[in-house]
Structure 1
C-alpha cells in the first residue's frame, strides 16, 4: 500500500485527489492550515482513511517535519495561494508560499532520496507560468513568461522541479490550466458567476457584477485534472505535463452557458461590468496543448466546458433551494 501526502487537501483539487487515492487503496495523509476548522463533507466522509495534519507553508519546516513523520511514497503539493487576482495584493507572501516553500520541500525530498528513501513528487504548476506566450497554445517547451505575482511564484516552483529532477528526484510538474467544479470557492469568478446566476433565477438577486468578460481561458473539469496528477505519480519516468482541454472559451461564453442552464437567454441586461474588478495585467487568451500527457500517460478529459458549467449551476440552484 502506497503512502500519499496531499498538501492543501481541503481545497478543490486536494479533496478530489484524496478521494481518488483512497479509492485506489492508498494510505492518504493531507495537510490543512487550520486543523480546528471543520472538514468539507466529502473529506469527512472518508473517515480514518484520510489522516489530516497541520502544516503552514509560511513555515516550510512544518511541512518537511511532517514528511519525516509520515514517510510518504508520493507527495502531491497542491497547497499555496490560489488566486491570481489576490496575488497583486500580497506578492511577497505569494512568492513565499508558492515558490520558496516548494524549493524547501524539493531540497528535503532530495536529501531523503540520497539517504535511501523512495519518494515521488507531483507539483501543481499553472498555465499562468506561460501567460505571456503570445496567444499560442502552451506546451511544455513554451517560454516561461508570467504576467502576475502568482505566475512568477509558480514559475519559481516549476523551474525548481526541473532542476531537482535533473539531480535524480522523481519530480513532475503538472501545468494545470483553469479547472472548475462545484467545489470551487465562491471568491473565484467562475463560482461567482454560477452562484450569481442561480440567485437571479431564484429571484434573490437582480444582476451580476463582473470585470472583463473578454478574457479567454482553457477550462476543464477538476476531477479530470487530479486524475492526471495520479497518473504522473505512477509514471515510470517523471516529467512536465500540460493539463488542458486545448479549447479556449471567453468569460462571456461561460456566463451565457450558465444563464442558459436556468432558461435565461437574454442575459446581458442582467450583467454589469466594474472596472475595479479588472486585473492590473492579464493574458487575453490562455490555452494549453496536452498532447504529451495524452500520448504518454493516456489521459483524456471526460467533461465538456458546457457540462462543467451546467454541473456548477445545478449545484448552486440546488443549494439555494
Structure 2
C-alpha cells in the first residue's frame, strides 16, 4: 500500500494543474451539494412547522356545561388525527388578552372574563385532516365557531400558505436534484478524462511493469488511490467551507426565523447534522472515484 500511495503522490506532483482542476471541480460539487441539502432540510422544517403548529380553535357556546366540554375534550384527545389538545377557560382567555394589550392597560380594564368564550385548541397531524375534522366539529351542539389561529388568517389563507410552501419545497428538491446530478456528472467526466490522460502518459511505464510480471491490480492500484485522493480532498474542502459558513450564519438565521427550527439550534445537534452529511458525501465521493477509475481504465484498455 505504501508504494502505491507513494506512486499516486508522485503522479499528482508530475501534473499539479490537472490535479488542481480535479480537486477544484469536486470542491465546487460537494460545496453545492452541502448547501442544497441544507436548503432542502430547512424548507422541510418550515413546511413541517406550518403543517403541525397549533392551528385550529373551537369556540364553545356560553350555555355549554362542564360535562359537555369534558366529553368533547376527551373525544378530541382520543382522535389520532389530532395532537396538543388544550382547553382555554374564559379567565385564561382574559389573561391572554391582557398580555396582548399590555401596552394599553385601559383596554384590559374595560373587559371581563364573561366577554371571552372558552375554547379548545389543537393541531392536526397532517393538514389534510383539517377540513374533515372541522366539518365534524361544526355539527357539535356546544360548538359556536371553528377557525384557524389569527396569525395565519382564515382557512383559505392557511391552506394557500401551506400549498405554496409545498410547491416551493418540491421545486427546491427538483432543482437541487438536477443541479447535483449535473455537478456529479461533470466531476465524473473530468475525473475520467484526467485519469485517462495520466495513464496515457504512463503507458510505457505500465507496459514495462506488465512485462516484468506485475499483476493488473498492482498496476492499477495507484490509479484508484489517486482518484480517491482527489475525491476525499474535494469532499472535505467543500464540506468544510459550507460548515464554516452555516456555523457563522446559524445564530442569525435562528433569530430571524424564531420558532421555526430551520437548522439544529444547539451546537452539538448542528455538529451531528454536518457529521452525517460528511459521511454521506464521503460515501458518494468514494463511489465517484471508483466509478471514474474503472471507466478510465476501461477507456485506456480499449485504445490498445
TM surpasses 0.5 = no
TM-score by length of 1: 0.20
Q: Structure with the greater relative contact order (CA < 8 A, sep ≥ 6): 1 or 2? A: 2
TM-score by length of 2: 0.21
User: Greater helix share, 1 or 2?
Assistant: 2
The structure number with the bigger radius of gyration is: 2
